[in-house]
Structure formats: C-alpha cells, structure tokens
Structure 1
Amino acid sequence: MDYSEYIHEHLPQNLIKARNKLGFSQTDVAKAIGKPLRTYQRYEYGERMPPFDVALAIAHALETTAEALVDFPPYNEVEE
C-alpha cells in the first residue's frame, strides 16, 4: 500500500473520530474551514481528499494535526 492509498483509507474515519471527540457537527467543521457542508461531507465519506491547505484547516478546527488525522505509520511500514 502506498501513502496515497493509506491516506484515502484512514483519513475519513479519523475525521469522524476527531469531530465526534469534540462534539462537533459536520456543519460546525464546514463553517470553521469556510467550505460548504457538502464539500466537508465528501471528505468524511471518502469521496474526495482535501487539498493540503484544507487538510491543515480541518486539523486546526479539530484541534489536532494533519499527520494525526491520517495516522501515518513509520515510513518503513508503508510499502511502495
């Protein structure tokens, strides 16, 4: 699995976990990042991956880091 696949597999579920941990709705996060609700929903549903600047904004809104949201493993654990 490469990094792109890894991110696509883990980011959606981690967005949901982080949002729920803070008690935020999808609307709360969408407003905080300045995006339409449907755009944010696409990130949580895995229909679309956020651009880097949006991923950083989401991480900030969810009081975490972009790295934590994708739950990166050590470099040698992801096969090329």
Structure 2
Amino acid sequence: MDDYIFDAPIFWTIYSSKTPEELQSLFNRAFNGKHDYLIGTRTLLEKSGVFYKAFEELSDCDVTILINSGFNTGIFDRSI
C-alpha cells in the first residue's frame, strides 16, 4: 500500500528464541518495547534504524480486508 508496511507477525519472529539478541534490542529501541504489530511508512521505519525488505506485497483490496478484519475482531482500534 504505497509507502506503508503492515506486518502483523514480525514481532513473533523478532522475539523468538532463534533471533539474535542484537536484533531484538534494535526492535526494542525502535518501538519503545511495544510489539503488537507493525504498521508504518518505510521512511519512518528507516529513521528508526529498521530497513524493511518486503517479501510479499498485498493489493489495496487485500490490505483493506485485513485492516477491517483487525478492527472488527478488536485486534486494533481506529486510532491507528
């Protein structure tokens, strides 16, 4: 979705026992210890020291369905 990155499971990977502590520390600093889901612009993430290479891109329709499903299930609210 243009410059936005949405990656809900990234923190499961980052905080797994197989991820190096240095990478976990980078994410802790970049996200102030908050790790529910990742939604942000590539520019903002890069300013935080997180350079994200997308593995898969979703269509606008797919993203809309995913975000609305998150709202409807209460995973996140409209404040984002």
* Structure 2 length-normalised TM: 0.35
* CA radius of gyration, larger in: 2
Specify which structure has the higher proportion of strand: 2
Quick check: which one's helix share is greater?
1
TM-score (norm 1): 0.35
Q: Taking CA–CA contacts closer than 8 Å with sequence separation of 6 or more, which of the two structures ends up with the larger relative contact order?
A: 1
